Structure 1
């Protein structure tokens, strides 16, 4: 009887989800039938093709004497004038710093789109000095802050990754790993299409128009991300050939960090073919240590471990695909990549034990790491003619990862001691349908469905299998009424997980709210709320044990529950000429946080396993800014929070108590331009020790200095140094205590006194510029990181 009741409840939930899906998809289609004639278009600069926001668009009668209607372009440079009767008119467009533009239009019973309109930039010449209108530094919107990329920022950068270094709240470490406001669980987009961080390393900085920072993603985004960085490109491409080559040369062999890249585009007619490459080559000497104190043990009171290893990492990612503009309203694209990569730590390990039974253990460590990832995506977009912004997007993509990860320990005679071996075989498929409908001036609906299928196997452990099927429905309503602008959405997600011991089904209703009130043109107040569900990955779920030495064993946990997260924030933003400042109060709660549970077993072996350990609460303030002073720009960032951890029953049983810490996270990026096309940049980032419920993690401050010179506007040469004058850099550390033990670990990169890399880049192009197509998205499985 109980089983039948559960089946009825399950059937009812599936039925409800289907009804919601039908409602979300049919409602906008029904409303679209009520549309009237309209005039729409997109406004850009004629020379640089940058989108122009807040341009005035006026619709006059054919003589130009009587005003009929009007609108202002939005953040994407788009405008829409609705409820226009059939007839002949004259349209006039004006914007600060640009010449006015006008043309006659005629409406014959249907809406028209004027396409992309280029405005000519005004120039005022004073004794051979040309003064141009300078764009604003940043803009605050309900669900995001948008930072405009200036010419000075482009001159100080080579790639998309370099541009991100200059934005407040964005951190890029020595290995090009990107995080937003302290979280690396983020989504990277280029023109709204998902990309992995490696793609940004081959993306030319000069192609970037602006960057949207979304700290509270809306309902249309995956539930398991904490933030979004959307890089918007200039709306142009070359008919002909264009591309770039980028190379780095280490000044010393003891610290190799190279990220070579190239890109090549060939456009003709309505078709654009592209290929690109980004590499990741690293070699560092690393010292990994732990000091462990053991209480109430008759033989051993302390264990000291030292591993002297060389990290050897390489990755080669080859991108390829095409963009095909079928006509003005239809686009189709294919994108794929092939990515072999490896991460190995080779060297020696030594352990000393102290107490009444002293001893030592020595071994040679050898990694054999081979991984291959492939990705394919087919993407289609249709723009409906009657309204600008009325569109349907479909995306189908497939990802596959096959790997073999081995760590072999041998003694000084080459005899076998121990081997850790995993052979992941992971596949995923994703389908997404997204429909957007502008209903009336200042009101828009968005709805869609998403299906994500994932399978994970370990070819070395046939007992491990994991299948995950996610089905999501989402809907969002956005409106703008005078000074009030809001986006309200809901995401309904069903996650079915199949394990060897059974099946688990979870249902989540994930609301999002973003509201902005404008006090005036330069000041506003925003409120945001979002609920997220973060799902564990392969290495967190795989229960295969991995031994780093005879006294330490780690494993995953197949019954991990997803993390749920609720985030509330209230943000004030002000723009002062070209300066931008925002201050945000926030409250963040994660009730079932996934962290390491560490305990000492009866054989004095430290066991480490992923578990849902309890609740983490953060209350704090975040201040960021973007300031432009002539030939220099400064982007500061500061986050301060009280962090409380509340252990659950499992943690209490392992003697974990409540903990209160203060989080301090400052950051600063700056760029400078000098005579003779010389630029310099400086970036700094630091995070104080982080509360991990049972333990505390920490790392050293990180900073970069870079100087470059441009030759003939196409060739750049420069020098970059990371953490100079320190000689070593702690990239990860942890302090943990439990019943009967204390443990302190550190991983340190050994660097020269002044680590230096030479970088060279060259850009080339031919042909004329046209409207740029959009491209599909790419995804990757999270990699297991080891070493630095």
Structure 2
């Protein structure tokens, strides 16, 4: 309180002095001014509205400042004679410092002329891409996609952004894979989220594209990261600011298949910063259909043939809300806190679900069903982080904490009609409420070594406590109005708890050798203990503890003209998540039943990578090759039960190899027209390691995908964008998943000095539907299914920014927890959150 009174007194004193200074003295004098102009070094254009701040030489005391006009010109007044340092900054540019500015008197002008500012993309140490508003940046252990420079995603969500990122593939359902593997870890601002933990697909749909600043594809994570993710880590960086002032942004979009609305506000005054936002997205009337044919050889050598077909529809509502606060205790100590809430309500319908059973070619049964599946959840993430920096540049200590909780309510009702298909015979209901809790504490140290601090030593420790709970039960009801009766069989009615404790320590070292070489070795050790238990069983599931060493090595060399070549090796561990562990039996389709396995062990993968990036005449090209070897791979085990029912379980029986390449290019044809695209290709080799001819399986083949999009700038702030993506057949252990293609086009107009944007977009506007054909082939099962999706969409997007922010000259260091150690899987697997 005393400090507050002192501050008020100082402001009153300054105000009084100002009033006194305005009194006439009998002579008019012109105060001293520092005059300058901000220019873009690359283009020569003025940097409009750049922020200039004046400091006393040798101190961090900011005594005056100004904002440049539309021509980049600025002038600063209010300083006494002396020697000063000026710092010029603007979003997207490196801060430019002009030293030894001498002010000799209280009157007169000091003209420092034009100050050339450098784009951040050109100033980073290992950037290989050059040019205006480039999309791709290469570093020793990652590729960074600068989403904020890509306007083709306006009005979309995180799924639309990731479809444009090199080395990533996103299917029509939003399932993400990297180099053909869905075993990846997705982080948001460097930390896990309860939303992403429950469903990566749904998490991406909850993040507005306009709020994503960049996407980091970390194909070779260092020892600092959790050892999870066969393919690597995706870090989605949202737009944060170190700005002074207040601002708000509203955006909305509506279309035939979905609508969204978002409002975000931020404020910063002195040492405090606040952010508050909310975003909602609704999808409706997403129509489709499927048909399925499965031929099963029964144990008595009879042949059962099953034909199924249904019309499908999906509706959903997502919401994401956040509140963030950061506080600069003093020059070297910072606190940040954040609370994020998420909701997800999804409902899937299968109507006219007809099943026909044939035995040796003769029709033995017709069954008509309707299935209503619900997937509802709410989540919360609470974080509190402390960072301490030092006089020595780059040195810091951080203590990071995170609490996450996700409550889910999954259920389905399967309604069976009588033989005449006009009245309800019975109803089968499954309820599966579940809860996932996670508490993490992490301590990190960063120590620059040597006089210039070019070598960096990183070390730290981390502990993750997880608690998962699933309460599942089945109910049966007769007729349309009969009461549900609970099934008391422990197989169908039980409570499952799963506690996991992961303790880890790591050491990583980064050094620059012979000027152009960078080496980054590291070692990590993780020790895992697990307890699992069923309510109705007398003893817990026996799961032994295990410890794992995880080495990593990243190398890079900068060549002439900014080219970069890099190589890496790392070992990864993939612990099964509750998608594979949950013992709840999913029989929403009674002829295709699946169940998780609580006794699964982790997978282990060795990754090798070689990459090269170059540019010439406005064109950037990046090549990479990789080899991946996985042992103990979690694979589906399919067996035939009575009446031709296919039961799917999971076990650590697989061996999986993949060798492939990725080629990405970004072409600036002119300052108005640009194209970029990529091709991903790999050869997959899978084997489940079984010798029994009934269950032994192996498969191999090529998987190829590609993408291309372009941007053209028209006069008067109009822009046109086009995008297309295609993926070929995907090889699986027992069959394949069909390929698909998608495309879109958009046009938008900026107005009100680029504070507002309005646009039109169209997705898949030439095709009424997409067909995806899948097959499963085993010695006893042949299954062919076709899923049809009708996702043609037309949309209108609008956004507008209110308020004005200026650049803060002392950016706050923000760090957060990252948990990357669970195998989430893609679209398959027995799931705690079933029936996506």
TM-score (norm 2): 0.74
**What does 1:124-273 correspond to in 2, within 5 Å?**
134=132, 138-148=136-146, 153-154=150-151, 157=154, 161=158, 164-172=162-170, 178-188=176-186, 192-194=190-192, 196=196, 198=203, 205=210, 208=213, 211-225=215-229, 226-230=231-235, 236-250=241-255, 252=256, 256-273=257-274
Alpha-carbon deviations, 1:444-490, whole Å to 9, x = none?
A: 10011111111111123544221111111111000001121111111
SS in 2 for 1:766: strand
The whole-number CA distance in structure 1 between the counterparts of 2:500 and 2:603 is 16
Name the residue aligned to 2:807. 769
Superposed displacement of residue 513, structure 1 = 0.8
SS in 2 for 1:438: strand
Name the residue aligned to 2:287. 285
The whole-number CA distance in structure 1 between the counterparts of 2:297 and 2:252 is 53
Distance 1:410 1:495, change over 3 A: same
Distance 1:147 1:359, change over 3 A: closer
**What does 1:662-673 correspond to in 2, within 5 Å?**
662-673=702-713
Alpha-carbon deviations, 1:132-184, whole Å to 9, x = none?
A: 98366644322123445675x35874578465554433445556655544445
Asked if structure 2 preserves the Cα contact closer than 8 Å seen for 1:174 and 1:722, the reply is: no
Asked if structure 2 preserves the Cα contact closer than 8 Å seen for 1:199 and 1:278, the reply is: no
Residue in structure 2 matching 1:457, options 469, 474, 485: 469
SS in 1 for 2:759: strand
Distance 1:654 1:676, change over 3 A: farther
Name the residue aligned to 1:632. 673
Matched, 1:380 2:386: yes
Residue in structure 2 matching 1:474, options 506, 526, 542: 506
Alpha-carbon deviations, 1:273-317, whole Å to 9, x = none?
A: 211122232221221321111236677631011122321221212
The whole-number CA distance in structure 2 between the counterparts of 1:203 and 1:218 is 29
Distance 1:479 1:621, change over 3 A: same
Distance 1:695 1:259, change over 3 A: farther
Asked if structure 2 preserves the Cα contact closer than 8 Å seen for 1:486 and 1:514, the reply is: yes
Asked if structure 1 preserves the Cα contact closer than 8 Å seen for 2:638 and 2:648, the reply is: yes
**What does 1:587-736 correspond to in 2, within 5 Å?**
587-630=627-670, 631-649=672-690, 652=692, 654-712=694-752, 713-730=754-771, 733-736=773-776
SS in 2 for 1:540: helix
Asked if structure 2 preserves the Cα contact closer than 8 Å seen for 1:169 and 1:667, the reply is: no
Alpha-carbon deviations, 1:379-433, whole Å to 9, x = none?
A: 1111112x11101122111111222211111234345332232121211111111
SS in 1 for 2:601: coil
The whole-number CA distance in structure 1 between the counterparts of 2:727 and 2:311 is 26
Superposed displacement of residue 733, structure 1 = 4.8
Superposed displacement of residue 91, structure 1 = 12
Residue in structure 2 matching 1:489, options 507, 522, 534: 522
Alpha-carbon deviations, 1:97-116, whole Å to 9, x = none?
A: 999843259xxxxxxxxxxx
Residue in structure 1 matching 2:432, options 376, 399, 422: 422
SS in 2 for 1:686: strand
SS in 2 for 1:736: strand
Distance 1:551 1:558, change over 3 A: same
Distance 1:389 1:100, change over 3 A: closer
Asked if structure 2 preserves the Cα contact closer than 8 Å seen for 1:430 and 1:452, the reply is: yes
Alpha-carbon deviations, 1:623-665, whole Å to 9, x = none?
A: 112222221222221122221112213x745433332211112
Matched, 1:362 2:368: yes
The whole-number CA distance in structure 1 between the counterparts of 2:146 and 2:407 is 40
Asked if structure 2 preserves the Cα contact closer than 8 Å seen for 1:207 and 1:234, the reply is: yes
Asked if structure 1 preserves the Cα contact closer than 8 Å seen for 2:187 and 2:818, the reply is: no
Stretch moving more, 332-341 or 187-196: 187-196
Distance 1:588 1:734, change over 3 A: same
Distance 1:398 1:416, change over 3 A: farther
Name the residue aligned to 2:332. 329
Residue in structure 2 matching 1:313, options 313, 316, 319: 316
Asked if structure 1 preserves the Cα contact closer than 8 Å seen for 2:206 and 2:320, the reply is: no
Name the residue aligned to 1:405. 410
The whole-number CA distance in structure 1 between the counterparts of 2:48 and 2:526 is 42
Matched, 1:438 2:448: yes
Distance 1:206 1:616, change over 3 A: closer
The whole-number CA distance in structure 1 between the counterparts of 2:680 and 2:734 is 23
Asked if structure 2 preserves the Cα contact closer than 8 Å seen for 1:99 and 1:120, the reply is: no
Alpha-carbon deviations, 1:477-508, whole Å to 9, x = none?
A: 00001121111111111111212222321211
TM-score (norm 1): 0.78
Distance 1:48 1:382, change over 3 A: farther
The whole-number CA distance in structure 2 between the counterparts of 1:552 and 1:186 is 27
Stretch moving more, 742-751 or 177-186: 177-186
The whole-number CA distance in structure 1 between the counterparts of 2:271 and 2:167 is 39
Distance 1:729 1:708, change over 3 A: same
Distance 1:92 1:767, change over 3 A: closer
Matched, 1:103 2:99: yes
Alpha-carbon deviations, 1:710-754, whole Å to 9, x = none?
A: 122122122222222221124x65311223221122332234xx5
- Count residues in correspondence: 681
The whole-number CA distance in structure 1 between the counterparts of 2:550 and 2:517 is 23
The whole-number CA distance in structure 2 between the counterparts of 1:304 and 1:204 is 41
Alpha-carbon deviations, 1:309-356, whole Å to 9, x = none?
A: 321221212111211122222211111122221222123221012233
Alpha-carbon deviations, 1:496-535, whole Å to 9, x = none?
A: 1212222321211111111012332432321111111111
* RMSD between superposed Cα atoms in Å: 3.7
Residue in structure 1 matching 2:357, options 338, 353, 357: 353
Distance 1:560 1:698, change over 3 A: farther
Question: Which segments of 5 or more consecutive residues in structure 1 lack a partner in the other structure?
Answer: 1-43, 52-59, 62-87, 106-117, 124-131
Distance 1:188 1:367, change over 3 A: closer
Name the residue aligned to 1:448. 460
Distance 1:541 1:234, change over 3 A: closer
Asked if structure 1 preserves the Cα contact closer than 8 Å seen for 2:282 and 2:318, the reply is: yes
The whole-number CA distance in structure 2 between the counterparts of 1:697 and 1:308 is 20
Asked if structure 2 preserves the Cα contact closer than 8 Å seen for 1:680 and 1:706, the reply is: yes
The whole-number CA distance in structure 1 between the counterparts of 2:180 and 2:774 is 17
Asked if structure 2 preserves the Cα contact closer than 8 Å seen for 1:168 and 1:669, the reply is: no
Superposed displacement of residue 90, structure 1 = 10
The whole-number CA distance in structure 1 between the counterparts of 2:338 and 2:694 is 49
Stretch moving more, 774-783 or 526-535: 774-783
Asked if structure 2 preserves the Cα contact closer than 8 Å seen for 1:375 and 1:778, the reply is: no
Asked if structure 2 preserves the Cα contact closer than 8 Å seen for 1:643 and 1:663, the reply is: yes
Asked if structure 2 preserves the Cα contact closer than 8 Å seen for 1:49 and 1:234, the reply is: no
Asked if structure 2 preserves the Cα contact closer than 8 Å seen for 1:168 and 1:626, the reply is: no
Distance 1:763 1:483, change over 3 A: same
Matched, 1:756 2:794: yes
The whole-number CA distance in structure 2 between the counterparts of 1:356 and 1:200 is 46
SS in 2 for 1:549: coil
Superposed displacement of residue 578, structure 1 = 3.9
